[in-house]
Amino acid sequence: MTIEITHTRREGTLIEGTSRGDGSAEILRLREYGRTQSQPFRWSRNLDCWYLPHSRDHATYTPSLELLAQRLRDAGFEVTLTIDNADRRSFSDAEKEREERAEGRAERFGGYAASAAQNSEAAWKSSHEISERFAFGQPILIGHHSEGRARRDHARMDNAMRKSIGESDRAAQWTGRAQAAANYERFKKDPGRTLRRLDKLRADLRAVEKWQRGESAKGFSTQLLERPATITVPDTEAGRLIVPATEGSTTVPTYRVGAPDIQCRYPVIVGEDQVIGRAYRLHRDWLVLTTEGERNLRRPPKGTPGTDVAAAHLAEEYAAGRIGAVPWTRCSPRPPRRCAGRCLSCTRGCRSTIATPRARRSRSRDSGPTTGGQCSPGSPAEITTRSSAANCVTDKARSSGATCADAMESRRARAATRAGASERKGSAD
């Protein structure tokens, strides 16, 4: 038995030649096909074959169909795959058919809504007729010969009322869908929507023109679009990913993305130990930190890892000479060391983790930003900024190479200066 897989833009993706119980349905129902690689095939009684939803008027994703054909061959079927993206219908014909189908849906859904509303009204009337026996609050007489009938009437009233409510909900749902289908043509021809679509298409055109000029656009560049696939290396390697440069290119060097630090910032390394920048994520955006400062690369395209986009950008900037490289030993953080004891700056830093926002702002103006955790004497390297209740010193003391004792003496001197100024002001008054 031969299974034929065909795709044209006019008809979409169709599968013919299957039969009930031959084992192909389990493969076709997997949610791994289509342009999104998350769609299953569905059976159509009108077409009498399997079809892929939303595949008409679109170019197919060839690897998805090749994967399906290989799976069917592994299951023992003979498969033929035919793809013809040139066979397509005009936009006006496609839009006319969509409008006709929308009108048919609106009429059909309107009938469903009317039927559900009629069923709801009939069920409500049935429940109301039964309830007339108990209009004056007649209770169920336990042990009386009417007890069984009364309980059955109560059950019938409950079932009828529940059916009435359910049919009313169905009527509201079908009414909404009928209204949406009736508004399809007006929605497609809405001027505001058309203008928004034109703006998006113009933006896409500008991105393509930039790519043709060799410039970066929308998180992609010519080197990123042309480079080979990412190669994954074992966890024993120092870096997480190794990405080769584009074949035939002498400008973009070979680089790798190292393991993230405690702040989840990924170093991009060229050579053996030269770091050209760090990439990290802030909300949905990806940012890079280089010798020239910080830059926001915005949100990467859907399905593209942000580390890949950031690493490719840094490699291009480094190849163009716009950023420099720093040895790994200069940018790797020193191991933190705890203070010998609790000091004034540590106490203030610890209190700031639970203080109110207004108090934290006033203290930050007083003594600079506080960092919770541990002290590192005189290290200008990266410093962990996570808040905790452990001993800490200010970033100002850290950056100047001061120890906890120096920070305490500096703080005492500032406090004495403020006290003297207050006394002089009071004597003047």
Residues 6+ apart with CB under 8 A from 275: 258, 267, 268, 269, 325, 326, 327, 328, 331
DSSP state of 268: E
- pLDDT value for 202: 92
Q: What is the mean pLDDT of residues 251-273?
A: 83
Terminal CA-CA length for the chain: 105
Does position 336 have pLDDT exceeding 60, yes or no?
Answer: no
Distances in whole angstroms, Cα of residue 246 to Cα of each of 116, 253, 301: 62, 9, 20
Q: What dihedral angle (degrees, nearest 10) is formed by the CA atoms of 90, 92, 94, 97?
A: -140
Q: What is the mean pLDDT of residues 2-27?
A: 92
Q: Which helix (H) or strand (E) holds 421?
A: helix 404-428
Does position 170 have pLDDT exceeding 90, yes or no?
Answer: yes
380-401 pLDDT, tens per residue? 333 333 333 334 444 444 444 4
Report d(CA 253, CA 277) in Å as an integer.
Answer: 14
The residue among 242 and 15 whose pLDDT is bigger is 15
Most confidently predicted of 130-144, 226-240, 340-354, 372-386: 130-144
Report d(CA 237, CA 254) in Å as an integer.
Answer: 16
Does position 308 have pLDDT exceeding 80, yes or no?
Answer: yes
320: helix, strand or coil: coil
Band the pLDDT of 184: cuts 50, 70, 90.
Answer: confident
Instruction: Give CA 33 to chain center in angstroms.
Output: 20
Q: What is the mean pLDDT of residues 290-296?
A: 87
Band the pLDDT of 425: cuts 50, 70, 90.
Answer: low
Instruction: Give CA 416 to chain center in angstroms.
Output: 53
Report d(CA 371, CA 386) in Å as an integer.
Answer: 6
Report d(CA 116, CA 109) in Å as an integer.
Answer: 10
Report d(CA 125, CA 115) in Å as an integer.
Answer: 16
Q: What are phi and psi of 145, to 5 degrees?
A: -65, -15
- pLDDT value for 398: 45
Token pair belonging to 86: 């040139």
- pLDDT value for 279: 93
DSSP state of 16: E
- pLDDT value for 175: 93
Q: Which helix (H) or strand (E) holds 276?
A: strand 274-282
Band the pLDDT of 407: cuts 50, 70, 90.
Answer: low
Token pair belonging to 258: 């190292």
Least confident window among 12-26, 214-228, 313-327, 352-366: 352-366
Strands 326-327, 266-270: pairing is: unpaired
Report d(CA 169, CA 292) in Å as an integer.
Answer: 61
Residues 6+ apart with CB under 8 A from 276: 255, 268, 269, 270, 290, 314, 315, 317, 318, 323, 324, 325, 326
- Residue 278, strand partner residues: 267, 289
Q: Which residue has the tokens 């299953």?
A: 40
78-109 pLDDT, tens per residue? 999 999 988 888 888 988 888 898 999 999 99
- Mean pLDDT, the chain, rounded, equals 76
DSSP state of 333: P
Question: DSSP assignment of 222-244, as one string?
Answer: HHHHHSPPPEE--TTSSEEEEEP
pTM, rounded to two decimals: 0.42
